[in-house]
Amino acid sequence: MTYQNRLFKLLNSRKAEEKYFMPFFVAGDPNLDSFKEIVKIVEPYADIIEIGIPFSDPIADGPTIQEGNVRAFKAGINTIKALEAIKELRVFTEKPFIILTYYNILIQGSETIEQSIDITFENLKNSGIDGMVIADLPIEEAELVLNACEKYDLALIFLVAPSTTEERLEKIIKKARGFIYLISVMGVTGARESVDQITKDNIARIKKKTNKDLPVFVGFGISKPEHVKIIIDAGADGIIIGSAIVDIIKNNLNNFPSMKDKLVDFHLKIRNSIKERM
């Protein structure tokens, strides 16, 4: 089967030992032009690029991503501008784009929820987006989104947490496409110092239930090459890093060339640590 969707195309042709790196950026952080430039310079080191569409009340995010959202809002970001920026970036790369956002951002634009989702998803598709993670949309509420994803050939990536029961896990796996996004810890997003045993146990638990067609990516808390090694060795197929990257942006706001150097350096280190385990 041949796929138009870049994420499906990438994952469909994968070998079992293949490992992926998906860095995360907040659209418009620290401003739109810098954001676009950052994505372009780190693109060679990433397999998939995850982009946050800012929401005013991100309950699943820790202080780092919240501050990234605030910086982006202060610099004038909104959903339309974020999608335009992604469309511009699409010209430079064929790597899959996944957006991360909250449900309320996707249900604007029309009287009914169905129509709003339809309008939004057509926009997502036209902007060159391949899939999405919706932080506050559990499987119970996902029907409308799943239908629209089918219509526009987009992937709805489901989150799985350490607290997810076996029964829920099975339901989620049945509906999931692309990959499973495993939240490594019980908590919100944010860089952490070490990898918990709970992370390793959960990778094993979920890998046991999934097959080659549904790789498991791990995110939340990963900040160092050492973490990458432990998580890959535990059986994960992909690594998602957000807060550690947004922290680099935050810590170098006054020096853009240095910010870019540090971002490239960080991506290179992560890339290499993934390569070593393949």
- Looking up tokens 């280190």, which residue turns up? 269
Q: Is 61 a catalytic residue?
A: yes
Which one of 17, 33, 47, 50 is the catalytic residue?
Answer: 50
Q: Which stretch binds other proteins (CB under 8 A): 44-52, 89-97, 159-167, 195-203?
A: 159-167
Question: x/- binding map, residues 195-224, to other proteins, per CB under 8 A?
Answer: ------------------------------
Q: Is 201 a catalytic residue?
A: no
- Looking up tokens 């119970």, which residue turns up? 140
Is 61 in a helix, a strand, or coil?
Answer: coil
Q: Which stretch binds other proteins (CB under 8 A): 3-11, 19-27, 76-84, 202-210?
A: 76-84
Within the chain, what is the greatest distance between any pair of CA atoms?
A: 52
> Which sign does the torsion angle of CA 72, 74, 77, 79 carry?
positive
| Count of residues touching other proteins (by CB under 8 A) | 43
Structure tokens at 96: 């899959």
Question: x/- binding map, residues 88-107, to other proteins, per CB under 8 A?
Answer: --------------xxxxxx
Supply the minimum distance, in Å, between the C-beta of residue 50 and other proteins. Answer: 17
What 8-state DSSP symbol labels residue 141?
A: G
- CA distance to 159, 200, 224, 238, per residue, from 22 (Å): 15, 19, 14, 7
Question: x/- binding map, residues 108-127, to other proteins, per CB under 8 A?
Answer: x----x--------------
Structure tokens at 167: 């029964």
Closer CB to other proteins, residue 182 or residue 274?
A: 182
Q: In the beta sheet, which residues pair with residue 25?
A: 51
Decide if residue 168 touches other proteins (CB under 8 A).
yes
Return phi, psi of residue 162, to 5°. -55, -30
**Taking a C-beta distance cutoff of 8 angstroms, is the pair 99, 133 a contact?**
yes
- Give the binding site for other proteins (CB under 8 A): 54-63, 66, 73, 78-80, 102-108, 113, 135-138, 140-141, 158-165, 168, 172, 183, 186-188
Active site residues: 50, 61
